[in-house]
Amino acid sequence: MSERLLFVIADDHPLFRNALRNAIQAAFKDVEIVEAGTLDEVSAALDRIGEADIVLFDLKMPGARGFSGLMYLRGQYPAAPICIVSAMDDAATIRNAIGLGAAGFISKSASLETISEAIRAVLRGESWVPSDLIGEATDRETGELLERLRSLTPQQVRVLMMLGEGLLNKQIAYELGVSEATVKAHVSAILQKLGVENRTKAVLAAGRIEAGEWRGAIEP
C-alpha cells in the first residue's frame, strides 16, 4: 500500500466525516480524501475521479432509502469497494449489507483501531465484519431475496426506491427524465426479477430486509 490511496467518505453529518477523515489520516500516510453528503454527491465524485480505493458509505443519507444506496453504487460502480460505516449495526443489517455486495461493515461506535483494521482488510481485497459475526449465515429465504435484489440494475433500483415513496409512473418518468413507457418496462423487469405480481409486493419484498425503510406510501 505504498501508492497514494483515494478514499471517498460518504456521510451526511459533517462532524462525523471530519472525525473519519482524521482517523484515516492518522492511520495512512499518503491519502487523498473526497467527501460527499448525499448519494448524488457520491455518484458525482466517483464519476469525476474514476476509481476509488475504498468508499466509506453510511446507509442513511439523503437520496438513499435503506440499502438502496448500496445497491445502486454496487451496480453503477462495480469496481469500487464499498465499506458500510453505520450506526445501524445489528446482526441482520450487517449480514444483509454484505449479502448485497458491501466489502465490509464498520459500526460508527467502533474504536479507531478497529476502523483502521477494517479499512486495511478491505484494501487488501478481503471482506470485513465485526468478529462476533464471523461464521454467521443468512437464512436461505433471505439469501434468495438478496440475490434477486442484487440482480436489479442501478436504474431499476432507483425506480424501486421511487415506488417505495408512492410515486406514480409518470412522476418517476419526470424525475428520471425518461418516458413513461421506459418506467413501465423497468417496473415489469423489477417484478420479474423479484418474482412478485405487483409493485406493492415489490416494495414489501425489499422492505423485508429493510425494517420498513422501503414501504413509504405504499401499503397492501
Domains and CATH numbers, the chain: 5-133 (3.40.50.2300), 140-207 (1.10.10.10)
What is the percent of the chain where pLDDT is above 70? 90
Distance, CA of 154 to CA of 112 (rounded, Å) = 33
Q: What does pLDDT average to over the chain? A: 86
For residue 40, the model assigns a pLDDT of 92
Residue 219 pLDDT greater than 50, yes or no: no
103 against 218, higher pLDDT: 103
For residue 84, the model assigns a pLDDT of 95
Distance, CA of 19 to CA of 98 (rounded, Å) = 24
Residue 220 pLDDT greater than 60, yes or no: no
For residue 171, the model assigns a pLDDT of 94
Answering whether pTM is above 0.85, one says no
Binned at pLDDT 50, 70 and 90, residue 134 comes out as low
Rounded average pLDDT over 199-216: 69
